[in-house]
Amino acid sequence: MGDVDETAKLWKVNRTIHELVKDRGFMVSDEEINMDLARFRELYANNSGTVDRGQLNFYTTSRANPTDQIFVFFSEERSVGVKTMRKLLSILEEKSIQRGIIVFPGNMTPSARKVIVAMAAEYRLEEFSEADLLVNIVHHTLVPRHEVLTAEEKKILLEKYRLKETQLPRIQVADPVARYYGLRRGQVVKITRPSETSGRYASYRICF
């Protein structure tokens, strides 16, 4: 029963991480997102019903910029340490990819987190536990639509309303929605909510 539960969990995690990457503007096939549990099990589970997480690794390219790629790495290690981070970095180096997401079953050691900070000049590394990805938080009906503005769109917004960055409401870089979209400090997100009077209401937040 444990393997069945584990497979169902990984099926949900795999779907959410593909949705996340697609929502950031990377190319993802609908087949990956719409895959049912039976098909997932057929593709990734072995004869004993266990899923080899290594088979779930994938990389993809930005729809807007072919040179912008991202690699998603599923860790077999429950508590991610420096050794696993080195393995991820060696794959990124080999493939000449600067962006990586590591997905892990349990937690991440403080020393592994230090690697993310230490390599920030060369590689943009992000981490999510499988528990973070069991449900897609931004696809929930109560979460309003978020759109990340380009640098040009941000400039136009500030000029139009004669605002300084400091005058915009803030969203923390550690906010779950900010993490989902991979927001960086200084980026602005447009949030569109339903409005009883005007149909839709847009607000803006800056990541800090």
Mean pLDDT of the chain: 96
Model confidence, pTM = 0.93
Q: How high is the pLDDT of residue 181? A: 98
SS (H, E, C) the chain: CHHHHHHHHHHHHHHHHHHHHHHCCECCCHHHHHCCHHHHHHHHECCCCCECHHHHCEEEEECCCCCCEEEEEECCCCEECHHHHHHHHHHHHHHCCCEEEEEECCEECHHHHHHHHHCCCCCEEEEEEHHHHCCCHHHCCCCCEEEECCHHHHHHHHHHCCCCHHHCCEECCCCHHHHHHCCCCCCEEEEEEEECCCEEEEEEEEEC
Q: How confident is the model at residue 58 (pLDDT cuts 50, 70, 90)?
A: very high
| pLDDT tens digits for range 86-101 | 999 999 999 999 999 9
